[in-house]
Amino acid sequence: MTFEIAFVLIAITGMIIALVSDVMRPGMILFSVVVLFLCAGILSPKEMLEGFSNRGMITVALLFLVSEGVRQSGALGDLVKRLLPEKKTTVCKAQIRMLPPIAFISAFLNNTPVVVIFAPIIKRWAEKNKISATKFLIPLSYVTILGGICTLIGTSTNLVVHGMILEAGYNGLSMFELGQVGIFIAITGIIYILLFSKRLLPNDRPDNEIPEEEVEKGDILHRVEAVLGSRFPGINKTLADFNFQRHYGAEVKEVRTRNGQRFIKDLNEVVLREGDTLIVMADDSFIPTWGESSVFVLLANGKDNEPQPKKWKRWFALSLLLLMIVGATIGELPIFKESFPNIKLDMFFFVCVTTVAMAWVKLFPARKYTKYISWDILITISCAFAISKGMENSGLADVIAKYIIGLSSSYGPHILLAILFIITNFFTEIITNNAAAALAFPLALAVSKQLGVDPTPFFVVICMAASASFSSPIGYQTNLIVQGIGNYKFMDFVRFGLPLNIITFLISIFMIPLIWPF
């Protein structure tokens, strides 16, 4: 074993431990590893920085703004209210009506704003109709994941893998290419949710007995659920060290951690993490003041807090979104390539046009556009490219690939595809999905080269496995959001989500080689 291989192996092992331990934000952890590679001569400065100029990464950044423009247009909030039955209904009937359209929406929009908008509205509707909201919130998160795997832009992971494919010198993925297998996973997953959610998901767990209204110093205080975002300044601090009431003018009554624990007493000893949900007593100014801040991922007080702009803005936002999708799809056709030889009419082109158009018509505040971008995700993605390159440069990817091939030499590429899925899916459940894709991609490339087969099936299986984060609330932000607002426990995700992981695995391993032969 050479020094470079040993160094990269130790660094990546430390990275995984740091990500699981949540010692700091994923972006900074990955950046620290990249800097170590630079210091050891494994990466050149050019290779280190290539990820920051990658089209896939920049496309993800712009899609944050497109999603925000659609959110602020009010189109999504209006849609979900139309999807929810007004009359008394059953869990299954309500899910049949709402889950397929939500999966379709999430195929073209960032999952997080979809869940942030829909979750409080669905919970409020369920309480009004005396149905357990817990039967809908985990399914909401899962169908956004299922919808996201069907298109190139449905999740940042697909764009990351697409960018890595281009960097490796291969043809990238088209807009709906992943849908050839993704749509079967999505349909089967939705059927599973419809059949088993009532049986496997818990009924509503009673909240801490906090009065709906408390009067203090003449102000009327309301119960507000606040999900902590990555920019919350009290991350990794206790409430004793971080005075929440002094910072935000609200009193914390309960903490629900992302591991499913609830704390009502001794709150000052609880260490706050991203994704934790705080139940606070706040006045009417709390949500208007902090609703647009990235400090909190979601704020809900049982009222409708979504923007209500003019109707033309809703239609204009949806028209721009449709133009972006159709343009990116037909722009890759030969006739358009021949007609516009100097312009590459791909997703990057149309997402740029859409973002600028939304900014100029003020679908999102152009002066505040930076606050709607998740910079940690972008840094994670950029560093993922560099880590992947470091694994290739050091030879670690080839060594692991030879070891995997040696274990399954008599079974052919199909068993290697299954092994790669399991490795990627395991990492996506305990660390971030983009970091999981970064670790798996060089292995896929090395395995395919050593076998002398087409690498496309291995690339596609990474997309499926890295997004299939169903059995843990930690791996995907939408799972963290619904965990707090639905008062779920960690084992609720394991019990209900693990079969979905298995379904995704079986369909992927069976169908991918049929669609993309080795």
Q: Is the model's pLDDT at 208 over the cut of 80?
A: no
Confidence of residue 215 (pLDDT cuts 50, 70, 90): very low
Q: Rounded to an integer, what distance in angstroms lies between the CA atom of residue 70 and that of residue 88?
A: 30
Q: Is the model's pLDDT at 297 over the cut of 50?
A: yes
Question: Hey, what domains does the chain have and what are their CATH numbers?
Answer: 213-300 (3.30.70.1450)
Q: Is the model's pLDDT at 173 over the cut of 60?
A: yes
Q: What is the pLDDT of residue 35?
A: 94
Q: Is the model's pLDDT at 170 over the cut of 80?
A: yes
Closest CA to 264 of 205, 213, 218, 201: 205
Residues 454-463 pLDDT 10s: 899 999 999 9
Residues 110-150 pLDDT 10s: 888 888 888 888 888 888 888 888 999 999 999 999 999 99
Question: Of 462 and 402, which is predicted with more confidence?
Answer: 462
Confidence of residue 206 (pLDDT cuts 50, 70, 90): low
Q: Is the model's pLDDT at 512 over the cut of 90?
A: yes
pTM of the predicted model, to two decimals? Answer: 0.84
Q: Is the model's pLDDT at 301 over the cut of 80?
A: no
- Average pLDDT of the residues in 474-484: 82
Q: Is the model's pLDDT at 287 over the cut of 70?
A: yes
Cβ contacts of residue 340 below 8 Å, gap of 6+? none
CA–CA distances in Å: residue 12 to residues 19, 23, 353, 387: 10, 15, 38, 9
Q: What is the pLDDT of residue 210?
A: 52
Residues 60-83 pLDDT 10s: 888 888 888 888 887 777 777 788
Give percent above pLDDT 70 in the chain. Answer: 94
Element counts in the chain: helices (H) and strands (E): 22, 6
Q: What is the pLDDT of residue 307?
A: 57
Q: Which residues pair with 298 in a beta bridge?
A: 227
Q: Is the model's pLDDT at 410 over the cut of 80?
A: no
